Chain A
Amino acid sequence: MIRTVNLTKKFGNLLVFEDVNFKIEKGERVVIIGPSGAGKSTFIRCLNFLEFPTSGDVYFEGKRIDKNSNLPAIRQRIGMVFQHFNLFPHLTALQNVTIAPIKVKKMSEKEANEIAMYYLSKVGLADRINHYPSQLSGGEKQRIAIARALAMKPDLMLFDEPTSALDVEMVKEVLDTIEKLAFEGMTMIVVTHEISFAKEVADRLIFMADHHIVEENTPSEFFAHPRTERAKKFLNKIVNI
C-alpha cells in the first residue's frame, strides 16, 4: 500500500532519519517504537507529506508521490491521529467530524451527519456531539480525533504517539478504540511506547534509533529476543522505569 525507498529527512543540517526502506501491505498493522529523537514521528509525517522528505521516494499504491502530486486527494485516503489531538476548537465534536466530508467530499450535511454519528458511536461518544473540544477530556478529544479521521473512510491510518499526551487513566480508552479498529482489519502504522498494545495489535514491529530502522520483527520476538545491542539497551531502559 505504501512503500519508501531510501527515504531521508534533514532539517537544515540536522539529520532526522536516513535511508529508511519501509513497506506496509493492506490489512497490516505496524508499530514503530524507539527512543525520542529517533525520527519516528517525522517519518510517518513524511508518509502523508505533512513533512516533505529531503531525498528518497514514497510510493502510494505503486505511484510515486512528491510535492507536485495531488496531495489533498492522497491525504483523504490516509487518516492521521496526532499526539496533541489538534481538534478544531471553534467547532463542536460533531462538526469536527463532518467538516471534511462536507467541504472536501462535498457531501450533504445530512449524509455527513449520519456518517459522523456512526463513527462517534463507534468511539463511544455519541452523547458528546454538541460539546466543544474545551469541554472534553483528553481521552475524549483523542477519540473524536479518531472519528474525524475515520469519517473520510481512509485506507490507511497513521497514529503519531496517540496516547503520549494523555493522563494515565485515559490511555486505555484510546488504545481500546485503536485495537477495535485493528481487529476490524484497518491498515495502520502506530508510533507508540505502549508495549502491551504493540504485542496485542501489531503484526510487525519496527525499532527506530539513531536515524535508522535498527530492527524489524514480530513484537513478541522483539521484546523476548532483541537481536541488536541498541534494542537491548533501549528495552532495558524502558522496562526499568
Chain B
Amino acid sequence: MHLWHNFSAIWRSVPFLLKGLPITLSLTGLSGLIGIGIGLALALMKISKNKLFRWFALIYIDLFRGTPLLLQIMIVYYALPLNIDAFSAAIIALSLNAAAYLAEIFRAGIESISKGQMEAALSVGMNYSQAMRYIIIPQTIRRIIPPTTNEIVALLKDTSLVMVIGLAEIVYKAKQIGSATANFLTPLMFAAILYLIFTIPLTRYAEKLERRFSRGD
C-alpha cells in the first residue's frame, strides 16, 4: 500500500523529471560543439612549430585534465568575476574541459596520418594550411569519430555535475523528487535509465565505427 502510494507519486512526477532532460541535452550539445572547436584549435597549436602555441596548449590541457571538473564548474560560477547565469557558467566550464580531452584525441588522430601524406601534399605545391585542410584533416576525421563519440558520452554524463550550481538537469530533478516523496531509489533509477537511453546507442555506434575503420584500409 505504502509502496503503491509511493509509486503513483513518482509516476506523477515523471513529467517533472523529464523537464531536466532538455537542460542535460542542450548542455551536452552546446558544450560538445564548442569543445570540438576549441579542441581542434588546441590540437593544431600542440603540433605547431610555434613554441608559444605548443606551450599554451600543453599547459591548458594539463590544467583542465589535471583538476576535477566539479572544481572547474564551481570556479567559473562562483569564483570568476563574470556575472553570468548558471547555464552560461556550465557551458563555459563543460566546453573548456571537453576541449582539453578532445584536443588530445584530435592531436593523436592527426599524428596517426603518415608523414608521407604531408610530404606528398607539399610536393605538389600546397602550403601547410591547404595540406591540412584538403589532405590531413579529411583523413583524420574518420579516425577520430569513434573516440570523439566516446568523449561526448562522457560529457553527457558529466553534465550531471552542474547541479552543484543549481541547474535543474536530470539528477537535480531526481533528487528533488526523492526529497519530496521520501523515496530516492525510484527517481534515481529512472534518471539512470534516461542516461542509458542515450549513452548505450552512442557507445554501440562508436564501437561499430571503430570496427569498420579498423577493418578497412
Contact = CB atoms under 8 A, between A and B. Distances in A.
Contacts of B111: none
A80 B123 contact: yes
Contacts of A78: 123
Contacts of A84: 116
B125 A75 contact: yes
Interface stretch (B127-135, B181-189, B191-199): B127-135
Given A84-B116, A104-B130, A149 B139 contact: no
Contact of A72 (B119, B125, B142): B125
Contacts of A71: 122
Contact of B123 (A79, A99, A132): A79
Interface string A137-158: 0000000010011001000000
B112 interface: no
A76 B125 contact: yes
A50 interface: yes
B6 interface: no
B94 to A, nearest CB: 32
B217 interface: yes
Nearest to A158: B123
Contact of A100 (B126, B142, B216): B126
B125 A73 contact: yes
Nearest to B123: A80
Given A50-B122, A103-B134, A86 B127 contact: no
A75 B124 CA distance: 6
A9 B134 CA distance: 31
Interface string A44-82: 000010100000000000000000000111011011101
Interface residues of A, number: 29
B124 A148 contact: yes
A112 interface: no
B120 A82 contact: yes
A149 to B, nearest CB: 7
A104 B123 CA distance: 11
A201 interface: no
Interface string A79-110: 11010101111100000000110011100000
B48 to A, nearest CB: 16
Given A89-B217, A90-B139, A99-B134, A75 B120 contact: no
Interface in B116-164: 116-117, 119-127, 130, 134-135, 138-139, 142
30 contacts: A50-B123, A71-B122, A72-B122, A72-B125, A73-B125, A75-B122, A75-B123, A76-B125, A78-B123, A79-B124, A80-B123, A82-B116, A86-B114, A87-B120, A88-B117, A88-B120, A88-B121, A89-B217, A90-B142, A99-B134, A100-B124, A100-B125, A100-B126, A103-B134, A104-B124, A104-B130, A132-B217, A134-B216, A145-B120, A149-B123
Interface of B: 114, 116-117, 119-127, 130, 134-135, 138-139, 142, 216-217
Interface of A: 48, 50, 71-73, 75-76, 78-80, 82, 84, 86-90, 99-100, 103-105, 132-134, 145, 148-149, 152
